[in-house]
């Protein structure tokens, strides 16, 4: 359960970052705007989750900040004020101002694997992705599309994912996660900009939450 | 056939039977023990607690922790897994924990899952007790809206408020500096990856036989791993390594010291007598003595402690004393036949034997199992040797030997003139002044040391490895723990839950680095029951309906409270929680758990903080406990010393009269008093072992005085020579123990060495100042 959270978060982060960097290296055009070390990618998101057994989908929206090598802050404003921070050192979640979850990668098995994939992806190495997924890429006039299907459905980290689809042009524009049990997660990204980091004090402290 | 011959033949038969018995035991391998703490009595608390503590110690002693290292993280893990598999195949280890694979995690989660309605994380319990149910509901609801949220229909149906994942996450994690990487516990330092392996040995770590089996299996497994993954390093911690090193050292030492002692004694005898007969006959007496020593100990104890073996090696030194008394009569022209020789030394030997045995018997009174062994070993050995002298020598030593080597006698005469000649007055004064000065300076320099860590000379390389492990993992081998006792398991869990608050506070204050209790993994039934009620009252009743409506979930949740409760036996015995089983240390009709504490900086402060817990909880710090015990028994040994002096006196007073009895004891008592003070000048600290050595100094010293007292006129130099030889052989036996690297043995040896030298020096003071015979014994 926890791993699902990690996988999806990771992929949002890892893919956008990885794509940004390896895109140009492998000469796949059009490439997303690269995010340099000292820059940050900011934007809005809308997430719609459709779960089996529930009468209505769960829709949330907010902003996100992606900082290379430091992590991702996923700040959901509607319908709940929830902040999720994913850094190489761990995962932190704050709900309505109360810390709801704090997991250090060094203490929980499984998280470390994800971190390795993440750091590899961020550094432009997509081999870890290829060890876990069958990767299909398509490019068209409207942008590009990448489909990921787990190679080993029994692998615990990927156990419940049927497929991932990532679509983008200059930036990643949407991610669709389909689960084996029919659940589905649609994330759409908009108003994305890459600029100098200019992290606020809050953002810095969130990203540094696991530093000792 | 005379009575004498008949007795000698009976003795031969007895010796033959003993030899046959000993031979059969030898064929099955001599059962050797090497635990130095086994020399000590159980702690003086109530017996039940003592038993529990023994079990905890046994469990801790079986634990082994290894760090397998390599520059390459992948290779380090591979090597660790290979080594683990190699060790596991041997069946000599159990409870191996190496991989934290997702499968074992899943097994743990499945074991807990059926009982989830009564399982709350500490944070959730606190929130609900503070009526903050809303917060928990918000968190559950929010988790549907977070990226890749964990919640789905299946989960909501079984655990609507998502409390179970939080309980699992709240279980204690691994030691502070270790990280879970790639499914193993590891840590990185200077570019080297260390992977942790922990297990228990499947046998008695203090049994020499198990040590050697385990040792060779361990080497084989490690070498095999090294062949597959070259360049790996290994750091070890665990009693078995220390113990097996200790056994090897003791065995080597006892054979080395024994050999030196035997060779030295043989050379000495040959040098003095220049013929083989005394040598051969002495060897016969010594060997028969040793035979009885072994047989007596094996019959009484079943096994032999290596320390007894080392002290036993010195038995040669004492039993030869009696042989020497006999053979020195060769120098006496008045003793032409073996019988005459025997008759002349008989009273001295018997009286000496009596006082020596009194000394050993006081050792036997001490409630130290190991010392009892030493005492029994020695008494049996001495009786065997003396019986051999009495019954066999008159028969075997038939030849009439004329007086030999008067030069030797002149040496003996010198010993007397030192104390009785007017020409030696200056030397006498110098000796007395030296003794007085040594006593004063030594007294000022005397330091007492009871620290158990100094008593066990642990192998320095192993200590280094242990310190390195402590540095790398942040936790060392724990010697502190709490024993929790109660009438049943549930009561124990409840007590531990009560302890949790104090221990957590100590953890925050840095007084301890970590603690591990069963209750952290298995809440008591009472706690589970109250948690269930809490969930009902604070979550289900007020919020469930509206919450489910909010999230649009239409099915009724399967949230009926099961009647069953989680108990420790429900957890998987294998995998990451395997070490938990060792926390249950209850015995028959007695429930007991141990709470392990690591990183205890100041035992006193921890003990103080836990004092309020009442009699059900006992704080144990092995190091300070044993040290305190060594202190108590140091006093005890000194008391035994006085007791043994008091016991010897009546025999001496009976034979020599009140005042002369005191005079005979004086040289020995002076030597006993001076020995630790002179030793202090050489910076030797006074420990329990030195105190025990003094008991022997006293009894051997009294022997010398008695020999001096029993002799008269022309025989004086002969006696002196015999005592000189006896002292030399005792020093060859006991004194050589000073060379031992086993601290206890070293302390014992150095005290004997100094004490015997002084005893010999002062012995003529007990003798008659007049040259004529006082009593023709």
Out of A5, A47, A53, closest to residue B555 by CB: A53
Question: Which residues 553-572 on chain B approach chain A with CB closer than 8 angstroms?
Answer: 553-555
Out of B101, B106, B148, closest to residue A5 by CB: B148
Residue B474 to residues B176, B178, B186, B238, B555, Cα–Cα distance (Å): 6, 8, 12, 16, 49
Q: How far apart are the first and last CA of chain A?
A: 27
Gap from B150 CA to chain A (nearest CA, Å) = 5
Q: How confident is the model at residue A110 (pLDDT cuts 50, 70, 90)?
A: low
A46 in B contact zone (CB under 8 Å): no
Token readout for B508 is: 């925050």
- Contact of A136 with A157, CB cutoff 8 Å: no
Contacts of A97 in chain B (CB under 8 A): none
Token readout for A29 is: 């055009």
Tens digits of per-residue pLDDT, A36-63? Answer: 677 788 889 888 888 888 888 888 899 8
Q: For residue B202, which of B299, B56, B87 has the smallest C-alpha distance?
A: B87
Token readout for B585 is: 């240390």
Contacts of A109 in chain B (CB under 8 A): 100-102, 105, 180, 183
Please tell me the distance from the alpha carbon of residue A164 to that of residue A172, in angstroms, as a whole number: 13
**Three-class DSSP category at B720:** helix
Beta carbons of A55 and B552 less than 8 Å apart: yes
Contacts of A180 in chain B (CB under 8 A): none
**Three-class DSSP category at B53:** helix
* pLDDT at residue B458, rounded to an integer: 67
* pLDDT at residue B403, rounded to an integer: 56
**Three-class DSSP category at B133:** helix
- Contact of B325 with B707, CB cutoff 8 Å: yes
A97 in B contact zone (CB under 8 Å): no
Gap from A27 CA to chain B (nearest CA, Å) = 31
- Contact of B603 with B124, CB cutoff 8 Å: no
- Residues B342-366, mean pLDDT to the nearest whole number: 80
Whether the predicted interface score ipTM is above 0.85: no
Please tell me the distance from the alpha carbon of residue B382 to that of residue B677, in angstroms, as a whole number: 30
Out of A5, A76, A112, closest to residue B181 by CB: A112
- Contact of B320 with B728, CB cutoff 8 Å: no
Greater confidence, B767 or B310?
Answer: B767
Is the pLDDT reported for residue B644 higher than 70? Answer: yes
**Where does B254-399 show beta strands of DSSP type E?**
304-305
Contacts of B146 in chain A (CB under 8 A): 5, 60, 74, 76, 82, 84, 93
Distant-in-sequence, close-in-space partners of A178: CB < 8 Å, separation ≥ 6: A161, A162, A163, A164, A165, A184, A185
Q: For residue B660, which of B710, B619, B695 has the smallest C-alpha distance?
A: B710
Q: How confident is the model at residue A107 (pLDDT cuts 50, 70, 90)?
A: low
Beta carbons of B152 and A56 less than 8 Å apart: no
* pLDDT at residue B288, rounded to an integer: 92
- φ/ψ of residue A27, rounded to 5: 60, 40
Tens digits of per-residue pLDDT, B391-427? Answer: 888 888 876 565 566 777 787 788 888 887 778 788 8
Is the pLDDT reported for residue A18 higher than 60? Answer: no
**Three-class DSSP category at B339:** helix
Question: Which residues 81-100 on chain B approach chain A with CB closer than 8 angstroms?
Answer: 100
Distant-in-sequence, close-in-space partners of A144: CB < 8 Å, separation ≥ 6: A28, A30, A137, A138, A167, A168, A169
Tens digits of per-residue pLDDT, A47-106? Answer: 888 888 888 888 889 988 888 777 888 888 888 788 888 877 778 888 888 887 787 766
Distant-in-sequence, close-in-space partners of A75: CB < 8 Å, separation ≥ 6: A62, A63, A64, A65, A82, A83
Please tell me the distance from the alpha carbon of residue B574 to that of residue A91, in angstroms, as a whole number: 29
Beta carbons of A54 and B181 less than 8 Å apart: no
Up-side HSE of residue B209: CA atoms within 13 Å toward CB? 9
Q: How confident is the model at residue A9 (pLDDT cuts 50, 70, 90)?
A: very low
Out of A59, A96, A183, closest to residue B152 by CB: A183
Looking at residue B562, the DSSP 8-state letter turns out to be: P
Beta carbons of A52 and B141 less than 8 Å apart: no
Is the pLDDT reported for residue A20 higher than 50? Answer: no
B550 in A contact zone (CB under 8 Å): no
- Contact of B393 with B281, CB cutoff 8 Å: yes
B169 in A contact zone (CB under 8 Å): yes
B152 in A contact zone (CB under 8 Å): yes
Within 10 Å of residue B368's Cβ, how many Cβ atoms? 21
Tens digits of per-residue pLDDT, B115-147? Answer: 888 888 888 898 889 898 888 888 888 888 776
Q: What proportion of chain B, given as a percentage, has pLDDT over 90?
A: 7
* pLDDT at residue B28, rounded to an integer: 80
- Residues B231-255, mean pLDDT to the nearest whole number: 81
- Residues B263-283, mean pLDDT to the nearest whole number: 82
* pLDDT at residue B772, rounded to an integer: 38
Q: For residue B145, which of A101, A75, A180 has the smallest C-alpha distance?
A: A75
**Three-class DSSP category at B599:** coil
Beta carbons of B135 and A96 less than 8 Å apart: yes
Q: How confident is the model at residue A112 (pLDDT cuts 50, 70, 90)?
A: low
Tens digits of per-residue pLDDT, B582-631? Answer: 788 877 777 888 888 887 778 788 888 887 777 788 888 877 777 777 78
Question: Which residues 177-196 on chain B approach chain A with CB closer than 8 angstroms?
Answer: 179-183
Q: Round the average pLDDT of chain B to a whole number and report it.
A: 81
List residues bridging with A194 in a β-sheet: A41
Out of B142, B146, B183, closest to residue A109 by CB: B183
- Contact of B254 with B309, CB cutoff 8 Å: yes
B157 in A contact zone (CB under 8 Å): yes
Gap from A171 CA to chain B (nearest CA, Å) = 19
Please tell me the distance from the alpha carbon of residue B329 to that of residue B337, in angstroms, as a whole number: 10
Q: How confident is the model at residue B519 (pLDDT cuts 50, 70, 90)?
A: confident
- φ/ψ of residue B360, rounded to 5: -70, -35
Out of B102, B135, B157, closest to residue A110 by CB: B102
CA-angle at B705, arms to B702 and B710, nearest 5°: 120
Of the candidate ranges B531-535, B612-616, B716-720, the one whose mean pLDDT is the lowest: B612-616
* pLDDT at residue B687, rounded to an integer: 86
Q: For residue B668, which of B734, B762, B735 has the smallest C-alpha distance?
A: B762
Gap from A53 CA to chain B (nearest CA, Å) = 6
Contacts of B552 in chain A (CB under 8 A): 54-56
Contacts of B145 in chain A (CB under 8 A): 47, 49, 58-60, 76, 79-80, 82
Q: How confident is the model at residue B11 (pLDDT cuts 50, 70, 90)?
A: very high
Beta carbons of B165 and A47 less than 8 Å apart: no
- Contact of B34 with B247, CB cutoff 8 Å: yes
Q: What proportion of chain B, given as a percentage, has pLDDT over 70?
A: 90
**Where does chain A show beta strands of DSSP type E?**
39-50, 58-67, 71-78, 82-87, 90-95, 98-104, 133-140, 143-150, 161-168, 172-179, 184-196
- Contact of A42 with A30, CB cutoff 8 Å: no
Torsion-angle region of A27 (φ positive above 0: left; ψ -120 to 50: alpha; else: beta): left
Please tell me the distance from the alpha carbon of residue A183 to that of residue A179, in angstroms, as a whole number: 5
Contacts of B153 in chain A (CB under 8 A): 51-54
Is the pLDDT reported for residue B5 higher than 80? Answer: yes
B174 in A contact zone (CB under 8 Å): yes
Question: Which residues 142-171 on chain A approach chain B with CB closer than 8 angstroms?
Answer: 156-157
Gap from A2 CA to chain B (nearest CA, Å) = 6
Please tell me the distance from the alpha carbon of residue B394 to that of residue B371, in angstroms, as a whole number: 35
Tens digits of per-residue pLDDT, A167-187? Answer: 887 777 888 888 888 888 888
Greater confidence, B478 or B351?
Answer: B351
Q: How confident is the model at residue B13 (pLDDT cuts 50, 70, 90)?
A: very high
Tens digits of per-residue pLDDT, B505-514? Answer: 888 888 887 8
Tens digits of per-residue pLDDT, B38-76? Answer: 666 655 556 677 777 777 878 888 888 888 999 988 899
């Amino acid at each position: 359960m926890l791993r699902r959270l990690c996988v999806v978060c990771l992929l949002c982060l890892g893919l956008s970052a990885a794509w940004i960097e390896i895109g140009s290296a492998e000469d796949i055009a059009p490439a997303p705007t690269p995010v340099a070390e000292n820059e940050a990618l900011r934007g809005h998101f809308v997430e719609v989750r459709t779960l089996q057994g529930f009468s209505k989908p769960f829709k949330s929206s907010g902003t996100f900040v992606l900082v290379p090598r430091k992590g991702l802050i996923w700040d959901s404003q509607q319908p709940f004020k929830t902040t999720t921070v994913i850094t190489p050192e761990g995962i932190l979640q704050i709900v309505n101002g109360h810390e709801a979850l704090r997991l250090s990668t060094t203490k929980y098995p499984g998280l470390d694997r994800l971190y390795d994939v993440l750091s590899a992806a961020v550094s432009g190495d997509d081999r870890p992705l290829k060890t876990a997924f069958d990767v299909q890429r398509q490019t068209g006039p409207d942008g590009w599309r990448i489909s990921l299907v787990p190679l080993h459905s029994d692998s615990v980290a990927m156990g419940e994912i049927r497929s991932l689809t990532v679509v983008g042009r200059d930036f990643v524009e949407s991610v669709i996660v389909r689960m084996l049990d029919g659940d589905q997660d649609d994330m759409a990204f908009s108003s994305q900009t890459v600029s100098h980091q200019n992290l606020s004090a809050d953002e810095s402290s969130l990203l540094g939450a696991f530093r000792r | 056939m005379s009575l004498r011959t008949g007795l000698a033949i009976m003795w031969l038969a007895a010796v033959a039977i003993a030899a046959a018995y000993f031979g059969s035991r030898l064929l099955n391998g001599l059962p050797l023990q090497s635990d130095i703490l086994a020399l000590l009595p159980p702690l003086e608390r109530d017996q039940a607690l003592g038993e529990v503590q023994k079990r905890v110690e046994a469990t801790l002693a079986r634990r082994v922790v290894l760090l397998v290292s390599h520059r390459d993280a992948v290779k380090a893990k591979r090597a660790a897994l290979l080594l683990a598999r190699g060790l596991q195949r041997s069946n000599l280890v159990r409870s191996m924990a190496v991989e934290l694979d997702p499968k074992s995690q899943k097994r743990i989660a499945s074991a807990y899952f059926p009982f989830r309605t009564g399982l709350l994380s500490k944070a959730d319990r606190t929130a609900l007790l503070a009526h903050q149910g809303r917060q928990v509901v918000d968190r559950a609801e929010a988790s549907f809206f977070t990226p890749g949220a964990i919640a789905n229909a299946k989960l909501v149906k079984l655990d609507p408020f998502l409390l179970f994942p939080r309980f699992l996450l709240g279980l204690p994690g691994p030691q502070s500096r270790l990280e879970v990487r790639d499914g193993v516990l590891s840590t990185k330092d200077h570019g080297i990856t260390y992977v942790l392996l922990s297990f228990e040995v499947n046998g008695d770590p203090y049994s020499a036989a198990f040590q050697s089996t385990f040792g060779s299996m361990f080497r084989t497994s490690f070498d095999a791993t090294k062949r597959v993954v070259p360049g790996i390093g290994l750091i070890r911690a665990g009693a078995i390594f220390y113990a097996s090193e200790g056994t090897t050292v003791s065995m080597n030492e006892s054979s080395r010291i024994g050999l030196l002692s035997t060779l030295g004694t043989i050379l000495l005898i040959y040098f003095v007598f220049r013929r083989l007969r005394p040598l051969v006959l002495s060897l016969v007496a010594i060997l028969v003595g040793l035979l009885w020593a072994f047989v007596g100990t094996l019959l009484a104890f079943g096994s032999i402690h290596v320390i007894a073996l080392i002290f036993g090696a010195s038995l040669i030194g004492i039993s030869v004393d009696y042989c020497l008394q006999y053979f020195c009569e060769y120098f006496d022209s008045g003793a032409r036949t073996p019988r005459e020789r025997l008759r002349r030394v008989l009273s001295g030997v018997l009286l000496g034997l009596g006082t020596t045995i009194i000394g050993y018997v006081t050792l036997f009174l001490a409630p130290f199992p190991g010392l009892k062994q030493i005492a029994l070993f020695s008494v049996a050995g001495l009786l065997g040797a003396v019986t051999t002298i009495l019954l066999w020598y008159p028969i075997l030593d038939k030849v009439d030997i004329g007086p030999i080597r008067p030069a030797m006698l002149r040496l003996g005469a010198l010993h007397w003139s030192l104390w009785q000649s007017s020409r030696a007055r200056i030397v006498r004064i110098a000796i007395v002044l030296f003794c007085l000065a040594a006593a004063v300076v030594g007294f000022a320099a005397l330091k007492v040391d009871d620290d158990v860590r100094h008593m066990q000379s642990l192998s320095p390389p192993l200590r280094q490895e242990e310190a390195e492990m402590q540095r790398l993992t942040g936790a060392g081998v724990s010697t502190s723990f709490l024993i929790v006792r109660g009438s049943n398991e549930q009561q124990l869990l409840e007590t531990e839950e009560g302890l949790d608050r104090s221990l957590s506070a100590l953890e925050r204050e840095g007084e301890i680095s970590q603690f591990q209790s069963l209750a952290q993994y298995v809440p008591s039934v009472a706690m589970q029951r109250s948690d269930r009620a809490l969930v009902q009252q604070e979550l289900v009743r007020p919020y469930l309906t509206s919450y489910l409506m909010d999230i649009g979930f239409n099915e009724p949740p399967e949230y009926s409270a099961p009647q069953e409760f989680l108990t420790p036996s429900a957890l998987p015995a294998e995998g990451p929680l395997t070490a938990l089983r060792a926390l249950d240390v209850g015995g028959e009709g007695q429930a007991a758990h141990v709470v392990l504490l690591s990183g205890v900086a100041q035992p006193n402060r921890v003990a103080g903080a836990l004092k309020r817990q009442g009699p059900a909880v006992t704080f144990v710090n092995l190091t300070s406990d044993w040290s305190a015990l060594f202190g108590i028994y140091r006093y005890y040994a000194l008391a035994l010393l006085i007791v043994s002096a008091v016991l010897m006196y009546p025999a001496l007073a009976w034979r020599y009269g009140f005042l002369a009895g005191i005079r005979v004891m004086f040289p020995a008592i002076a030597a006993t008093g001076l020995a630790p003070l002179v030793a202090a000048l050489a910076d030797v600290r006074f420990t329990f072992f030195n105190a025990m050595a003094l008991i022997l100094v006293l009894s051997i010293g009294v022997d010398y005085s008695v020999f001096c007292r029993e002799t008269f006129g022309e025989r004086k130099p002969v006696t002196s020579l015999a005592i000189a030889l006896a002292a030399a052989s005792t020093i060859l036996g006991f004194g050589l123990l000073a060379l031992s690297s086993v601290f206890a043995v070293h302390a014992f040896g150095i005290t004997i060495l100094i004490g015997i030298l002084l005893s010999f020096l002062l012995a003529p003071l007990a003798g008659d100042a007049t040259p004529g015979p006082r009593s023709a014994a």
